[in-house]
Structure 1
Amino acid sequence: MKRLLLFLAALAVASTASAQDWAKARLDKSPRHLEWVTLKVGDRDVKCFVGYPEVKTKATAIVLIHEIFGLSDWMRGMVDQFAEAGYIAIAPDFLSGAGPNGGGTDSFGANDNVRGKIQGLADSQVMGDVKAAAEYVAKLPAANGKVVVGGFCWGGAKTFNYAVTGADFKAGLVFYGSAPKPEQMAAIKAPIYGFYGGNDARITAAVPEVTTQMKAAGKTFDQVTYEGAGHGFMRAGEDPAATEPNKQARLEGWKRIKAILSKI
């Protein structure tokens, strides 16, 4: 029985790793400068993955907040893809120091372990990590001082949460993330741009009400729902096995991202 359990555990880890082999393969071929940095946030060391664009001028920066699956290969790949688009990108590992032997996302193995730990993170800790990452990239010599924050799934909700802290950043990109309470929205300073899947009722069904609430609070909330796309389409649409609606939503989502960022 013990051997069987060890085999199943190893199989789960292998399955988790292989699920994003395509993302890692793309990342490994990147010609851009990618690096790890460690930020001191209180008494914690927060590991962050940073990507630099190949441009002549100082660039706008974006803080990316990962999915509930942690700082995965796909999430690091998104850092590279934002760098490819001309932006400095940074993605903190919000599980830094929370894993076995003080490790981060990589130390947990199976996705269920990662998901469970992330759900238990204090919102105040996550907001502190986002703030530290934003302050770090804003002051880089290659940066122009403008900072955008964007997140996916769990990270989409945390992007909205960061906005209600009253933080001063240029725009929030919320990818299929839930919204804060309406009474919190008055504190939002940045325009919020939402990206939602038409086949994701758990999140998307609330969008009309959120739109009304943001309007009542006098805040900018510009959202698009991509018909036929499911939850997580920015990742699922890149998978070689992607459905056509997810693939199309991702392509249209990227066009919209670039259009938004070009005006900042």
Structure 2
Amino acid sequence: MAGSYVTINAQDGGQFRAYLALPKAGKGPGIVLCQEIFGVNAYVRETADYYAEEGYVVLAPDLFWRMEPHVDMGYSPEEWQRAFGYFQNFNVDKGIEDIAATVKAMRARSDCTGKVGVLGHCLGGKLAYLTAARVDVDAAVGYYGVGIEGSLAEAKNIKCPTVLHFAELDKYCDANARNQIIAAFKDRPDIETYVYPGVDHAFARTMGEHFDKPASIMAHSRSIAVFRRALGPHFDLSALWDAHCYHEFATRDVAATMKTMVDQPYVNHIPTMTGGVGQKELARFYQHHFVNANPADTKLIPISRTVGADRVVDEMLFCFTHDREIDWMLPGVKPTGKYVEIPLVAIVCFRGDKLYHEHIYWDQASVLVQIGLLDPKGLPTAGNETAKKLLDEKQPSNTLMKRWAESAGK
């Protein structure tokens, strides 16, 4: 737990607490995080800390306080039974009032830059939807909200950009319910709905049995996109990536490189499975096997760059002379003196204004052909022809397809 607790004044008297997570910058736009049926538990606090890392001031109010304050449960069978008891006795209207009070408290905070969004999962997913309809918020995101189909009459009151995530296999929001919700918003471009195939309810809950990392990653990117557009903060991800590469390849300064990254980053060079996870191991990798181990004539030639809400996709040519052992690309291969030009793609994900991870892809077979370790004869691979064709699309196509001539004139 990286945050702390603060006290919120209820609209009808009384007080309840909320978990507060602050970004490293000390201020930012606000997000009110609505709990699941297990109270403000470890997963809710983890989610709050996660969004704080993205640059937000986050408040997660204790919405069960009227029944029992400070509910904080795990996922044992006994706790599940207890959680459903709270769910069945929960007063949704009072819950929305408490969320409204939390939004008001958020806007009054000196560390909140003004705009406030709402986010919720499960029970919180429905509450996020109802908050968008009843409370003055600037954006809303709901994950697998339970029971939204019963409140579609309130959809017309939603004035803020909203994203709703659904799980294909969710028995709490089945296909019939999901289709009703999606149909209600088919003419509302400001309300996005997404269905994640093959996953179940709570696919984003890292501590649950149905956690699905690919769906969770995709959903988070979509959530961050709407929050960035509606609330900010706005970071120049392209410039941040350029600064990182500058320290990697120009100054070759490992300490400066690591300062551009989050506390627990990772790098994965997909073809060779090289890189590192966490500050210590990644710094070790950079220091001894990457930053100070690239050939002297290493050159990056930019081809295209796509900048999203939380990531940069960079397409480039990576050029070098194999004058030393390159641990990350050609581990264990002694220098051949060969010149290599290879198309390379980097997918770089950010959390806030820091790099979180890099997924780097290239055609390893083409590298091996160019240094003479792989004979391309009879194999569907090529050498530096791949780089030449990337720069000039008029270079011959289909040269590896023996059957290409058979379709001539057809």
Give TM-score scaled by structure 2 length. 0.51
Report the counterpart of residue 199 of structure 2 in structure 1.
Answer: 229
CA–CA distance in structure 2, aligned partners of residues 207 and 121 of structure 1: 23
CA–CA distance in structure 1, aligned partners of residues 80 and 130 of structure 2: 24
- CA shift in 2, pair 1:107/1:59, >3 Å: closer
Alignment partner for residue 247 of structure 1, among 213, 234, 240? 213
1:211 aligns with 2:182: yes
CA–CA distance in structure 2, aligned partners of residues 107 and 253 of structure 1: 25
- CA shift in 2, pair 1:202/1:107, >3 Å: closer
Report the counterpart of residue 95 of structure 1 in structure 2.
Answer: 64
Deviation at 1:158, TM superposition (A): 1.3
Report the counterpart of residue 258 of structure 1 in structure 2.
Answer: 224
1:71 aligns with 2:40: yes
Among all aligned residue pairs of Structure 1 and Structure 2, give the percentage whose two residues are the same amino acid.
24
Give SS of 2:113's match. strand
Whether the 8 Å contact between 2:202 and 2:210 is mirrored in structure 1 is no
Deviation at 1:47, TM superposition (A): 1.0
Deviation at 1:82, TM superposition (A): 0.6
Deviation at 1:143, TM superposition (A): 1.0
Report the counterpart of residue 12 of structure 1 in structure 2.
Answer: none
- CA shift in 2, pair 1:219/1:44, >3 Å: farther
- CA shift in 2, pair 1:45/1:210, >3 Å: same
CA–CA distance in structure 2, aligned partners of residues 213 and 107 of structure 1: 34
User: Structure 1: which 4+ aligned runs deviate by more than 4 Å?
Assistant: 240-243
CA–CA distance in structure 1, aligned partners of residues 155 and 73 of structure 2: 36
| More helix as a share of residues | 1
Deviation at 1:242, TM superposition (A): 6.1
- CA shift in 2, pair 1:39/1:240, >3 Å: closer
Deviation at 1:255, TM superposition (A): 1.7
CA–CA distance in structure 1, aligned partners of residues 161 and 226 of structure 2: 11
Q: Which amino acid aligns with 2:8?
A: L
Deviation at 1:46, TM superposition (A): 0.9
Report the counterpart of residue 22 of structure 1 in structure 2.
Answer: none
| More strand as a share of residues | 2
CA–CA distance in structure 1, aligned partners of residues 180 and 73 of structure 2: 39
1:134 aligns with 2:100: no
What number of residue pairs does the alignment pair up?
223
Q: Which amino acid aligns with 2:228?
A: S
Deviation at 1:232, TM superposition (A): 0.4
Give SS of 2:127's match. helix
Give SS of 1:250's match. helix
CA–CA distance in structure 1, aligned partners of residues 44 and 160 of structure 2: 24
Give SS of 1:172's match. strand
Farther off after superposition, 72-81 or 90-99:
90-99
Whether the 8 Å contact between 2:38 and 2:73 is mirrored in structure 1 is no
> What residue ranges of structure 2 are gaps of 5+ in the alignment?
231-410
Whether the 8 Å contact between 2:202 and 2:208 is mirrored in structure 1 is no
Q: Which amino acid aligns with 1:129?
A: D
For 1:1-264, list aligned pairs within 5 A: 27=1, 30=2, 34-41=3-10, 42-55=12-25, 58-99=27-68, 103-106=69-72, 110-165=79-134, 167-177=135-145, 178-179=147-148, 180-205=150-175, 206-215=177-186, 220-235=190-205, 238-239=206-207, 246-264=212-230
Higher alpha-carbon Rg: 2
Aligned-residue CA RMSD (Å): 2.3
Deviation at 1:212, TM superposition (A): 2.3
Deviation at 1:43, TM superposition (A): 2.4
> What residue ranges of structure 1 are gaps of 5+ in the alignment?
1-26
Whether the 8 Å contact between 1:196 and 1:204 is mirrored in structure 2 is no
C-alpha offsets along residues 49-85 of structure 1, whole Å, 9 cap, x if unaligned?
A: 01000127x4111001111111111111111111011
